[in-house]
Chain A
Amino acid sequence: MSEAYFRVESGALGPEENFLSLDDILMSHEKLPVRTEIPMPRLGTFFLDRSGGSEADNAIPQGSKLELPLWLAKGLFDNKRRILSVELPKIYQEGWRTVFSADANVVDLHKMGPHFYGFGSQLLHFDSPENTDISQSLLQTFVGRFRRIMDSSQNAYNEDTSALVARLDEMERGLFQTGQKGLNDFQNWEKGQASQITASNLVQNYTKRKFTDMED
């Protein structure tokens, strides 16, 4: 399956997400802190602890602080900030940016929201005055970490790589995987297996899964 299946790639690092990319959909599911600038009637049922109650038409009051998924924040945001204003998540603020500039390699980017670069890039849509600093920080963080990712992906052959990828964000993990594939393909070729016809991954995994289904 891996050979013939080409999934829709993420566009999150560029100006716009890819509509059909599953990675981008998952990324934009992550939340960020917002503030409502206007009451929002009849939505109070979704935020019971904030609701203005039935006299206020079950509204979410103006000035409420909420955590909304990126897709919703993007949809409701406009440059006049009529419906909501957006706050930067901590890891993109100055404090953490200083940490990254000190040593980008020590940070667990997987814990910091697994789509650190993608989410951070899309954050730029909210016209924060810190946008220039944020984009610089994203870039420099990546530059600082890339060497290690490349090295480890090119040298870990046939071993458990979970420790190596544990603190990588999703984009970095993708890179790591690409590196591993290159390494494995090369080793294959060196062993003369490049012309060996192999069973399709799809079929192999399917046969395994059938047993699991039967046990359910």
Chain B
Amino acid sequence: MWPGWFLRLPARGLDGRRLAPVTRRRGPETGAGAQEDGLRQVLEEMKALYEQNQSDVNEAKSGGRSDLIPTIKFRHCSLLRNQRCTVAYLYDRLLRIRALRWECGSVLPSALRFHMSAEEMEWFNHYKKSLATYMRSLGGHEGLDITQDMKPPKNLYIEVRCLKDYGEFEVDDGTSVLLKKNSQHLLPRWKCEQLIRQGILEHVLS
């Protein structure tokens, strides 16, 4: 009932409680393609509104149709609204992508990358680099990985149970363990943290 420029994108494309830059639009496209499609529709609507307004402004000025001013204002509000929705949507995606660096580490699973646009991937890489530069500047010469130990550690070694088959995992000095589903191991905390966050290992409390 309402014209397309009452932007539907945020209500459908996003939900504050959902995760990750995954678009949830229905349709044959998936991943970044669908997101781009929705955005393209919005931009097309904006173009149409803008052109109508340009034409009406000219008519108001040269044709003396000052009664068109409220109409022009109406379309202008719609343009601003579309702009706001688009920017807020893209910004929210960036906030989630930034969170990915902290949650998943510096290598993103391909399933997630599938849902990111090329520009977003580029942004992620820039962010990674900024973070790495910063971390290198901490703690004297060696730098400090502040994405580790997100919870205060109690022990150097922790007990973990394997939730999925993962394969060989090198521990230190060439020794390795076989991470098979349900196997349990006592491993150095700093080696396991990533795998636990990825859901491959489970931290077992004694």
In angstroms, Cα B194 to Cα A24, docked, is 36
- Within the complex, what minimum Cβ distance (angstroms) separates B87 from chain A? 7
Chief secondary structure at chain B's binding surface: helix
Known: A25-B85, A194-B151, A197-B197. 7 other contacts (CB 8 A): A75-B77, A75-B81, A76-B77, A197-B151, A197-B203, A198-B196, A206-B22
Contacts of B192 in A (CB 8 A): 197
Choice from B3, B30, B92, B98 contacting A22 with Cβ under 8 Å = B92
In the complex, A196 has a CB within 8 A of chain B: yes
Binding site for B on A (CB under 8 A): 1, 3-8, 19-23, 25-26, 29, 38-43, 46, 69, 71-72, 75-76, 82-83, 192-207, 209-210, 213
Inter-chain contacts of A76 with B (CB < 8 A): 70, 73-74, 77
**Residues from chain B with Cβ under 8 Å of A196 in the complex:** 151, 203, 205
Chain A residues within 8 Å of B3, by CB = 46
| Segment from B38-46, B99-107, B117-125, B169-177 that makes contact with A | B99-107
Interface residues of B (CB under 8 A from A): 2-3, 6, 10-11, 14, 16, 19-20, 22, 30, 56, 65, 67-68, 70-71, 73-74, 76-78, 80-81, 84-85, 87-89, 91-92, 95-96, 98-104, 109, 111-112, 150-154, 158, 189, 192-193, 196-199, 202-203, 205
Question: A150–B153 Cα gap in the complex (Å)?
Answer: 32
Q: Which residues of B contact A26 (CB under 8 A)?
A: 10-11
When the two chains form their complex, are residues A8 and B92 in contact, meaning their CB atoms are under 8 A apart?
Answer: yes
Say whether A42 contacts B56, CB under 8 Å. Answer: yes
Q: Check B151 against A1 for contact (C-beta < 8 Å).
A: no
